[in-house]
């Protein structure tokens, strides 16, 4: 019984519980049900458990190859489109790492895609690619690694850079004796890359842009354009003030954006008000909708899985949870379709199959 309970604490089912709870006291049932529908895939775990013929290792291998082929096609497509636009612009070579060819502009050919969510798949691909159990020829592994890291540079997402650093550190620490030569090559390559992009927009966004986002800027000029905007810290402060007013159970499912929009106007944050920004922080978003009680479900999910991954010394599993934990710091990662899909796909492998293959062995 204890093992089964522990399994459900690690499964995506626990992420859905606050949505059901918050619907009971939501101010708008329409918005609440929209949120329930968007996140209903978190309940897929019980379905996969009915399949006794599935093997975790075989499924992970299949997912890895599907992710590999799909990601390569995606990266080649994005780079081709980007280079064609760059040639048409007539800019000098150093302009390739400017605002117009990185970040959201780089992923623009993929409709409604965001660098953070696409970057999650890129980093997860590296985690699977560097897993020695994944059968792939070394030259191909090296080529795909280089292409993926290059693509992450063009995604120009600070949070994805952090995820990349975490996965490199994880595999380096876990398999140091076997990969130390590759690790040092990677360190040197990163240093060379860092020096070479120092005078580019990518570097400025990583350093100066981060400082701007982490200070309380309201209606000030940012780095991405000449237009004024509100920093993430400014929005986070508004979110924290809302949480203080209803700290235990929050305002109910689907109410975050509405409450924030009202608060933005009161503080004079016209840009955030007009754009109706959410908090851009899943922890704060959970706390607004579901209070500290609902936030506890998210924290339990992350804590149980991260400790389980460490105990099993499973680098892929650890990377999966690390990506979620880090991306939730700057995005409402668990309530957007792109994030939900990522969590469910790999959650089924690392939690549902984990119950079949490893929970009973511990």
> What's the confidence (pLDDT) of residue 334?
95
> What's the confidence (pLDDT) of residue 57?
72
Rounded Cα gap, residues 297 and 289, in angstroms: 13
> What's the confidence (pLDDT) of residue 224?
62
> What's the confidence (pLDDT) of residue 10?
87
> What's the confidence (pLDDT) of residue 34?
92
Residue 359 has pLDDT above 50, yes or no: no
Mean pLDDT of the chain: 88
Residue 360 has pLDDT above 60, yes or no: no
> What's the confidence (pLDDT) of residue 59?
75
Q: What are phi and psi of 179, to 5 degrees?
A: -120, 15
Rounded Cα gap, residues 330 and 46, in angstroms: 30
Q: Running DSSP on this structure, what letter comes out for residue 220?
A: E
Which sequence spans correspond to the domains of the chain?
11-36+54-355
> What's the confidence (pLDDT) of residue 37?
92
Pick from 51-60, 210-219, 274-283, 328-337: least confident: 51-60
Sequence-distant (6+) residues with CB within 8 A of 143 are: none
Q: What is the mean pLDDT of residues 177-206?
A: 77
> What's the confidence (pLDDT) of residue 88?
94
Rounded Cα gap, residues 155 and 146, in angstroms: 14
Tokens found for residue 228: 């004024």
> What's the confidence (pLDDT) of residue 197?
79
Percent of the chain at pLDDT above 70?
Answer: 91
228 three-class SS: strand
> What's the confidence (pLDDT) of residue 362?
40
Q: What is the mean pLDDT of residues 201-225?
A: 86
The radius of gyration of the chain from alpha carbons, rounded to an integer in Å, stands at 21
Tokens found for residue 274: 């007009």
Residue 50 has pLDDT above 60, yes or no: no
Exposed (0-12), middle (13-18) or buried (19+): which is 85, by Cβ within 10 Å? middle
> What's the confidence (pLDDT) of residue 361?
43
> What's the confidence (pLDDT) of residue 47?
65
Residue 234 has pLDDT above 70, yes or no: yes
Instruction: Band the pLDDT of 352: cuts 50, 70, 90.
Output: low
Pick from 152-156, 185-189, 205-209, 355-359: least confident: 355-359
> What's the confidence (pLDDT) of residue 282?
97
Residue 271 has pLDDT above 60, yes or no: yes
Q: Are 288 and 260 in contact (CB under 8 A)?
A: yes
Q: Are 57 and 134 in contact (CB under 8 A)?
A: no
> What's the confidence (pLDDT) of residue 349?
80
229 three-class SS: strand
Q: Are strands 228-229 and 220-221 parallel, antiparallel or unpaired?
A: antiparallel
Q: Cα 201 from chain centroid?
A: 22
Residue 78 has pLDDT above 90, yes or no: yes
Residue 124 has pLDDT above 70, yes or no: yes
Exposed (0-12), middle (13-18) or buried (19+): which is 357, by Cβ within 10 Å? exposed
> What's the confidence (pLDDT) of residue 353?
63
Pick from 88-97, 155-164, 181-190, 322-331: least confident: 181-190
> What's the confidence (pLDDT) of residue 2?
61
> What's the confidence (pLDDT) of residue 54?
61
221 three-class SS: strand
Find tokens 């620490």 and name the residue. 173
């Amino acid at each position: 019984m204890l093992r089964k309970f522990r399994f459900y604490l690690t499964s995506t089912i626990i992420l859905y519980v606050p949505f059901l709870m918050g619907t009971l006291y939501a101010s708008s049932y329409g918005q609440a049900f929209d949120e329930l529908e968007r996140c209903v895939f978190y309940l897929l775990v019980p379905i996969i458990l009915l399949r006794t013929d599935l093997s975790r290792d075989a499924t992970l291998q299949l997912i890895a190859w599907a992710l590999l082929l799909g990601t390569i096609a995606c990266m080649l497509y994005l780079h081709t489109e980007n280079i064609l636009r760059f040639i048409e612009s007539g800019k000098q070579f150093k302009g390739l790492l400017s605002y117009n060819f990185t970040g959201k502009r780089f992923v623009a050919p993929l409709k409604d895609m965001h660098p953070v969510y696409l970057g999650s798949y890129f980093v997860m691909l590296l985690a699977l690619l560097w897993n020695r159990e994944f059968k792939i020829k070394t030259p191909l592994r090296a080529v795909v690694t280089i292409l993926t890291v290059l693509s992450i540079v063009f995604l120009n997402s600070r949070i994805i850079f952090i995820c990349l650093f975490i996965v490199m550190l994880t595999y380096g620490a876990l398999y140091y004796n076997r990969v130390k030569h590759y690790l040092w090559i990677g360190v040197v390559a990163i240093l060379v890359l860092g020096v070479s992009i120092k005078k580019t927009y990518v570097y400025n966004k990583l350093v100066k842009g981060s400082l701007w986002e982490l200070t309380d800027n309201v209606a000030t000029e940012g780095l991405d354009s000449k237009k004024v905007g509100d920093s993430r810290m400014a929005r986070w402060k508004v979110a924290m003030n809302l949480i203080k007013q209803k700290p235990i159970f929050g305002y109910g499912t689907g109410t975050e954006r509405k409450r924030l929009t009202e608060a933005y106007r009161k503080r004079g944050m016209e840009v955030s008000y007009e754009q109706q920004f959410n908090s851009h922080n899943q922890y704060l978003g959970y706390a607004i909708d579901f209070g500290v009680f609902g936030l506890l479900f998210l924290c339990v999910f992350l804590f149980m899985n991260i400790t389980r991954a460490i105990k099993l010394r499973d680098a892929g599993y650890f990377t999966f949870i690390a990506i979620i934990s880090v991306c939730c710091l700057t995005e409402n990662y668990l309530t957007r379709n792109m994030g939900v899909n990522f969590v469910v796909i790999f959650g089924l492998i690392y939690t549902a199959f984990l119950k079949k293959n490893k929970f009973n062995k511990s």
